[in-house]
Amino acid sequence: MTANPVSPQRPPAALESLRADFPVLDQTVNGRPLIYFDNAATTQKPLAVLAALDHYYRRDNANVHRGIHELSNRATAAYEAARARTAAFLNARSTEEIVFTRGTTEAINLVANTWGNAQLKAGDRILLTEMEHHSNIVPWQLLAQRTGAQLVYLPVTGDDGLLDLGRLDELLVPGVKLFAFTHVSNTLGTINPVAELCERARQLGIVTLVDAAQSAGHLPLDVQAIGCDFLALSGHKLCGPTGIGALYGRKERLEAMPPWQGGGDMIASVDFFESRWNTVPHKFEAGTPDIAGAIGLAAAMDYLDAVGRERIAQHDRELVAHAVEQLSRVNGLRLFGPRTGRAGVVSFLLNEVHAHDLVTVADQFGVALRGGHHCNQPLMKKLGVMSTARASFYFYNTRAEVDQFVAVLREIQKFFAQ
Amino acid sequence: MLDELNDLYQQVILDHSRSPRNFRPLASANRTAQGQNPLCGDNVTLYLEMAGDVIKDISFQGSGCAISKASASILTEALKGRTRAEAKALFARIHELVTTGETAGADLGKLAVFAGVHKFPARVKCAILPWHAAMAAVEGKDQPVSTE
């Protein structure tokens, strides 16, 4: 027997073997092996998710909830099983707390248009943070325009990309009706202390909404431990299909909210001039839902739990630490976001090279990055830049890919210095 | 691969992006127009001094990528002294050049360096944005133009 200590988790090399589950990764782009570093925009889909979609459309396709026949029964069972799977994924108290939506954006809009319309009045305040995605700003701006409520922002400290929690006592005060914030910044990679923020809000009776678009596929999530009233996620950022996401809402909150969209499925009964609403969560799901999407989402959640969400988080931490270390050795590179304790997202600028030029050249080397404002225009303004380049990782990315990416950045530097 | 990159980022383009010509506000301007690319937040402002039908002087300001900056810079050189009709005709040819890589007719001179853009569909907007702004200024439109 050797004396090597046994790791409680499989080593990173075992995660690399999962690349075989993602056929899209096995291709060349512009003559180079694809390095897909745009995972904060959307993740790739494993065979298990493709198979779940394929099986549903080949064998079970039917409309849900109203049918009597066999296929409708199967489709309904699979769709509701996906809801139970999502509830378990988030450790919600019950399946009634999960509303399927098109994604994070629609989930936030749902809350703004139902809870917000019913609860907010002129002079009420909505507290956001300066690092929010447009999807967690614009729905609240529209709500503020409808109701006369005011938006207030918790500042970001600067390039190191932390929330200025020293300002919380002054900003999170009675009069604030909602505190909505992101779990993980899609630009800065900051991981916010969501449980602490929710606890602070709860002490003052302030409702909380967590944007989990960037965290749901990367970190273990427990809505009861976080203590939020609402949480929004997108399936396509956690190996699931596009067009499906979920809103978690505390049951008592959802029950007190008026419906949003009207139509089939969300009603208990309809008369010519008035209707009675279905129970939650169906009250918020008007019309035929994205049945296949929900089934694909459940398959993605099964896949992530089989890999192990703590292992995914560990891999993120190791890979981003390696990336930050390598990038900090590149002269002329300005790195945004915390140096430590960050998610697998790095935003940067390289000398005077514009992010779009950088991303165009990187693509010629097979490296898929993103360049722009990342739907964070207010944050860009705060940082004093128009745009950044961004690399974002997932568990199927490797240290070798990070090294190649950094080598490509040096090539880009040379190219624009010629 | 690098050939295509060198086609896109020709030396003339890199030179104009680093040292843009006519990169300043224009005190004598009687027409201005803004161009915005909502995808990246880039913006460009064109300043035109129109004397009757002729672009007597022209300048620009703004922030953007190498392609959009070089396009704006070369545009100011190309449009100075042109009539409204000539400017519109040139715009049509540039549009054709950056979307197809070729255009029939007389030699475009320095503007021909933008032929490589057509191989990069995502970057066509960068090259054409300053032209949209210039056309809006020529037409006397006040609303910012957008690539979307």
- The CATH number of residue A328's host domain is 3.90.1150.10
> In the listed set A272, A306, A340, which residue is the last one of a domain according to the structure?
A306
pLDDT, mean of residues A114-127: 98
In total, how many domains does chain A have?
2
Chain B segment 64-83 residues within 8 A of A by beta carbon are: 64-67
> What confidence category does residue B146 fall into, taking pLDDT thresholds of 50, 70 and 90?
low
pLDDT above 90 coverage of chain A, percent = 92
Q: Does A415 touch chain B (CB under 8 A)?
A: yes
Give the separation between CA B147 and CA B133, rounded to whole angstroms.
10
The verdict on A176 and A103 lying in the same domain is: yes
The verdict on A149 and A230 lying in the same domain is: yes
The verdict on A111 and A211 lying in the same domain is: yes
Find, among A117, A109, A121, the residue nearest to A245 by Cα. Answer: A109
CB-CB neighbors (< 8 A) of B39 in chain A: 372
The verdict on A246 and A271 lying in the same domain is: yes
Nearest beta carbon to residue A372 from set B8, B9, B39: B39
Task: Judge whether B110 and B1 are in contact, CB under 8 Å.
Answer: no
Question: Pick the catalytic residue: A198, A228, A239, A375?
Answer: A375
Mean pLDDT across chain A = 95
Give the separation between CA A212 and CA A131, rounded to whole angstroms.
13
The verdict on A125 and A142 lying in the same domain is: yes
Task: Judge whether A215 and A343 are in contact, CB under 8 Å.
Answer: yes
Give the separation between CA A230 and CA A101, rounded to whole angstroms.
13
The verdict on A296 and A312 lying in the same domain is: no
Active-site annotation holds for A228: no
Find, among A215, A41, A207, the residue nearest to A140 by Cα. Answer: A207
Residue contact B40–A30, C-beta within 8 A: no
Residue with the larger pLDDT of the pair A5 and B21: B21
Residue contact B14–A418, C-beta within 8 A: yes
Task: Judge whether B50 and B27 are in contact, CB under 8 Å.
Answer: no
Task: Judge whether B90 and B81 are in contact, CB under 8 Å.
Answer: no
* pLDDT per position as a tens digit, A207-217: 999 999 999 99
The verdict on A301 and A247 lying in the same domain is: yes
* pLDDT per position as a tens digit, A217-273: 999 999 999 999 999 999 999 999 999 999 999 999 999 999 999 998 899 999 999
Burial A120-137 (b: 16+ CB within 10 A, else e): beeebbbbbbbbbbebbb
Give the separation between CA B35 and CA B60, rounded to whole angstroms.
11
Residue contact B5–A386, C-beta within 8 A: no
Residue A274: CB partners within 8 Å, gap ≥ 6? none
Distances (CA, A) of A209 to A144, A179, A313, B138: 16, 6, 22, 48
Please identify, in words, the CATH class of the domain defined by B2-139: alpha beta
> In the listed set A280, A306, A332, which residue is the last one of a domain according to the structure?
A306
The CATH number linked to A144 is: 3.40.640.10
The verdict on A92 and A16 lying in the same domain is: no
| Extents of the domains making up chain B | 2-139
- Asked whether the predicted pLDDT for residue A3 surpasses 60, the reply is no
Q: What is the 3-state secondary structure (H, E, C) of B22-57?
A: CECCCCCCCEEEEEEECCCCEEEEEEEEEECCEEEE
Residue A362: CB partners within 8 Å, gap ≥ 6? A368, A369, A389, A405, A408, A409, A412
- Asked whether the predicted pLDDT for residue A418 surpasses 80, the reply is no
Mean pLDDT across chain B = 91
CA dihedral over A374, A378, A381, A383, signed as positive or negative: negative
Complex prediction ipTM: 0.88
> What confidence category does residue A287 fall into, taking pLDDT thresholds of 50, 70 and 90?
very high
Residue contact B41–A371, C-beta within 8 A: no
Residue contact A364–B1, C-beta within 8 A: yes
Which site among A187, A351, A352, A356 would you substitute to test the B interface, given the most B Cβ atoms closer than 10 Å to its Cβ?
A356
Residue A45 lies in a domain: no
Residue contact A380–B41, C-beta within 8 A: yes
Give the separation between CA A406 and CA A308, rounded to whole angstroms.
28
The verdict on A302 and A364 lying in the same domain is: no
- Asked whether the predicted pLDDT for residue A11 surpasses 90, the reply is no
The verdict on A98 and A192 lying in the same domain is: yes
CB-CB neighbors (< 8 A) of A32 in chain B: 1
Chain A segment 338-397 residues within 8 A of B by beta carbon are: 352-357, 360-361, 364-365, 371-373, 377, 380, 386-387
Long-range CB contacts for residues A109-114, cutoff 8 Å, separation at least 24: A109/A139, A110/A247, A110/A260, A110/A284, A111/A139, A111/A209, A111/A230, A111/A232, A111/A247, A111/A249, A112/A139, A112/A140, A112/A142, A112/A143, A113/A139, A113/A143, A113/A260, A114/A257, A114/A258, A114/A259, A114/A260, A114/A284
Please give the residue range of the domain that contains residue A407.
12-39+308-417
Give the separation between CA A127 and CA A154, rounded to whole angstroms.
7
Backbone angles phi, psi at A222, to 5 degrees: -140, 105
The verdict on A266 and A395 lying in the same domain is: no
* pLDDT per position as a tens digit, A12-58: 557 999 999 999 999 999 999 999 999 999 999 999 999 999 999 99
CB-CB neighbors (< 8 A) of A357 in chain B: 9, 65-67
**Beta partners for A235?**
none
- Asked whether the predicted pLDDT for residue A159 surpasses 50, the reply is yes
Residue A7 lies in a domain: no
